Structure 1
């Protein structure tokens, strides 16, 4: 659980500029991440000196992107007044311990649920980085000598102590002329749209937006009234297919029938919950056999506990279907795997089973070890349950790779690879356009971020053609004025 709020909310507006403040330079926005790519969300607001950071995410995917995590930010972290997190996914909060290592000591403003989940995510991230560095040094496959983690457990714990959770819709002052309010985003538990006032200017950040039909959470409301909107575009160039449970059910039945096992790489936060809900529904309907289902991710298990606790506490974020999370153990032959020995036993299952393990794009974690042992067996099946970013192992499998490199060695891909796209909890292109259109007053400018280049360009073009809004795909490091 998180500590009490450090930043006190207020119900009174605090953003009307004083005469002295009106003479200050125009606030600026700098895109330090998620520009031209779908990870690494980091948006710097300044005057123009650094003021606060919206999201502090890790780059994931190809090595050239991951190397950016090691590049120093063009700012003095100790001068930042605050960090505001939209949600707890690693590509939005995972850089925070590095920021703390570099001197940041301000409050980290987020919802209580984001604080609870990010605490889990950051501890796991630090542990995995320490573990991967130790393994690389022991096995000798890293090009660095010695291999080092980006940050360690001490850095993660220091960042967790800075969390300042605030409820939705409570205006929070962050210093002279700065105020932030968080609104539900419907993406994962605790996810938020950031509504920021700086010296009388108004900018909103979508974070990652949820779909109208999220199985667990209510959809987001209209955007805040803001002159500037920073909008995600993960699915900016496509529409989600209609739900097709037959795809997953068929993959499970075929695999179990030939004596194989199903491996589902799944994000530990939210995606694991959705996968388990769908497996429970298919089991109840008799569409798949009841076989052992292993959740092999300590982080996913802790996140599931957070979801269940929030559900029992009556969180307003949940939709009606979320109640099924409380009865999973009654429907599924569900096994929680926390220890390393138990995980190692799942590398080569001796009987048909389903293993749900992180990470969702197979970029690291226990699922990589499972893939290394299971991919070359044609009886097995790997189910890709959602978006796979360019350069990730999941994307390589989706694109039909015949070999996959893990821990310095290649493994032949003989297992069946099945994509089940309807698990995504990102708004698609139509959803995003409709969300912007629902604003009481349309933004003057939309900056389209957090998407691969084509997806961002397509969404920007749609916003201009259909809504008449100036929509721009910013470049990495680009700075603009918040007029």
Structure 2
């Protein structure tokens, strides 16, 4: 019988497009099924066929429901996948929000390109549509954390808490005589909202993310730093504009703002959560009370700290308003969504602050802002950036290099090999070197579509 192999169809050498294929003979399990984001050459990969037939995949197992881990699912179904999509219950609920929103944006973008006749293809088509998204949602089956279950092709799978966002899991797969553990995206330890990543004690092979594999978060007083940025900006009559991932980051931000207001450290200015998806995701905290640290009373209080703006007209009024305020809006890397309209409104004015609070992938507007861009292109126009740009990585939902090493140290025995994925080249290589130096484990950074025998 053929042995087990691992092939990263995405998420190798980049932080986006996570798709890791386990294959035993003719049986196949895909761990995560994400969209490529950021640089154009990566985004174009979403339109290229996978190197395997979608119909040949028996099941997809999701670590969590961020777009770079689940956003390709509707396309996979359009291409012929008919198996189950397996996740935790909260991941399924978050994925419903993410996939419906992604399909709507795909349809909207295609319609816009056709309307202005700026498309290389006539007509421009969405990568997938709302029907594809609904078919993906209908294909989900869920299992609790720490309850082993079997797939149809004989693998035993267990979800273990990974922190990061609601429902996020490390995936422990035993197949044949091999045990492979996928970290998914690991959250920070001692996060005020999410539980710590749960240790995994045994594995023959480990597949670990490396988003922040080359840096450490300064989290000594993230709350205090946030308060300082807000105070300085509002004192000069400005708006604090925070591009935020709608799921995970937005809810953590609301917690910090609630805590600052509760303790009297927040200026008396309005707070707006201007993202329908973030609003819906915030409601999921109450729907899944056992998946986070907040007690019901605190969870409800956190949800009330901001004014929710669902309707486009309300969002436009925020952009037109000259009053000092705090605006949390998606997307987190400024690749689309309402944040773009706010950047056009507030970016040119020195009174305002653009506060970056999460990872910014190469090729995104967020990365350009982080690197000091004088102007950024939005809706075909170059927008000058005179606003202050501040960075607060301590609010990231990802473990830093020390956190990744802490999670790896939970294994009682040395794995045969560690595969380092979901990181840009420098981050992945730095983590590989750290694993070699500190643990003396064999670690490698696989290339996309490289077949690795286990």
Q: Give TM-score scaled by structure 1 length.
A: 0.91
Aligned position for 1:351: 323
Q: How does 1:355-434 map to 2 (within 5 A)?
A: 355-434=327-406
Match status 1:262 vs 2:262: no
The answer to whether the Cα contact below 8 Å between 2:5 and 2:22 also exists between their aligned partners in 1 is: yes
Q: Please state whether the residue corresponding to 1:347 is helix, strand or coil.
A: helix
Match status 1:324 vs 2:298: yes
Aligned-partner Cα distance in 1 for 2:296–2:230: 24
Q: How does 1:19-34 map to 2 (within 5 A)?
A: 24-34=1-11
Moved more, 221-230 or 97-106: 221-230
Specify whether residues 142 and 215 from structure 1 end up closer, same or farther in structure 2 by C-alpha distance, changes over 3 A only.
farther
Specify whether residues 322 and 462 from structure 1 end up closer, same or farther in structure 2 by C-alpha distance, changes over 3 A only.
farther
Deviation string, structure 1 residues 156-187 (Cα, Å, up to 9, x no partner): 00000000010111111112432211111111
The answer to whether the Cα contact below 8 Å between 1:216 and 1:322 also exists between their aligned partners in 2 is: no
Structure 2 unaligned blocks of 5 or more: none
Specify whether residues 165 and 146 from structure 1 end up closer, same or farther in structure 2 by C-alpha distance, changes over 3 A only.
same
The answer to whether the Cα contact below 8 Å between 2:222 and 2:395 also exists between their aligned partners in 1 is: no
Aligned-partner Cα distance in 2 for 1:137–1:369: 21
Q: How does 1:114-133 map to 2 (within 5 A)?
A: 114-133=91-110
**TM superposition shift of 1:343:** 1.8
* Aligned partner (choices 267, 284, 292) of residue 262 of structure 2: 284
Q: How does 1:21-100 map to 2 (within 5 A)?
A: 24-49=1-26, 51-100=28-77
**TM superposition shift of 1:88:** 0.8
Specify whether residues 298 and 438 from structure 1 end up closer, same or farther in structure 2 by C-alpha distance, changes over 3 A only.
same
The answer to whether the Cα contact below 8 Å between 2:201 and 2:410 also exists between their aligned partners in 1 is: no
Aligned position for 1:10: none
Aligned-partner Cα distance in 1 for 2:73–2:26: 20
Q: Give TM-score scaled by structure 2 length.
A: 0.96
Specify whether residues 224 and 160 from structure 1 end up closer, same or farther in structure 2 by C-alpha distance, changes over 3 A only.
farther
Aligned-partner Cα distance in 1 for 2:125–2:106: 8
Q: Please state whether the residue corresponding to 1:425 is helix, strand or coil.
A: coil
**TM superposition shift of 1:132:** 1.9
Aligned-partner Cα distance in 1 for 2:338–2:440: 47
Aligned position for 2:214: 237
Aligned position for 1:183: 160
Specify whether residues 33 and 216 from structure 1 end up closer, same or farther in structure 2 by C-alpha distance, changes over 3 A only.
same
**TM superposition shift of 1:458:** 0.8
**TM superposition shift of 1:323:** 5.4
Aligned position for 2:174: 197
Aligned-partner Cα distance in 1 for 2:141–2:201: 22
* Aligned partner (choices 135, 147, 165) of residue 158 of structure 1: 135
Aligned-partner Cα distance in 1 for 2:166–2:300: 16
**TM superposition shift of 1:345:** 2.0
The answer to whether the Cα contact below 8 Å between 2:27 and 2:153 also exists between their aligned partners in 1 is: no
Q: Please state whether the residue corresponding to 1:382 is helix, strand or coil.
A: strand
**TM superposition shift of 1:140:** 4.1
**TM superposition shift of 1:346:** 2.2
The answer to whether the Cα contact below 8 Å between 2:286 and 2:296 also exists between their aligned partners in 1 is: no
Aligned-partner Cα distance in 2 for 1:169–1:247: 37
The answer to whether the Cα contact below 8 Å between 2:203 and 2:411 also exists between their aligned partners in 1 is: no
**TM superposition shift of 1:100:** 0.6
RMSD in angstroms over aligned alpha carbons? 1.6
Aligned-partner Cα distance in 2 for 1:50–1:290: 59
Match status 1:248 vs 2:220: no
Moved more, 320-329 or 374-383: 320-329
Aligned position for 1:310: 288
Match status 1:463 vs 2:441: no
Aligned-partner Cα distance in 2 for 1:86–1:62: 24
Specify whether residues 470 and 61 from structure 1 end up closer, same or farther in structure 2 by C-alpha distance, changes over 3 A only.
same
Aligned-partner Cα distance in 2 for 1:130–1:444: 45
Deviation string, structure 1 residues 249-295 (Cα, Å, up to 9, x no partner): 22212222222222111101110011111112222233221222111
Deviation string, structure 1 residues 92-138 (Cα, Å, up to 9, x no partner): 00010000110111111100000010011100111111112222332
**TM superposition shift of 1:224:** 4.5
The answer to whether the Cα contact below 8 Å between 1:97 and 1:158 also exists between their aligned partners in 2 is: yes
The answer to whether the Cα contact below 8 Å between 1:215 and 1:321 also exists between their aligned partners in 2 is: no
Aligned-partner Cα distance in 2 for 1:48–1:480: 14
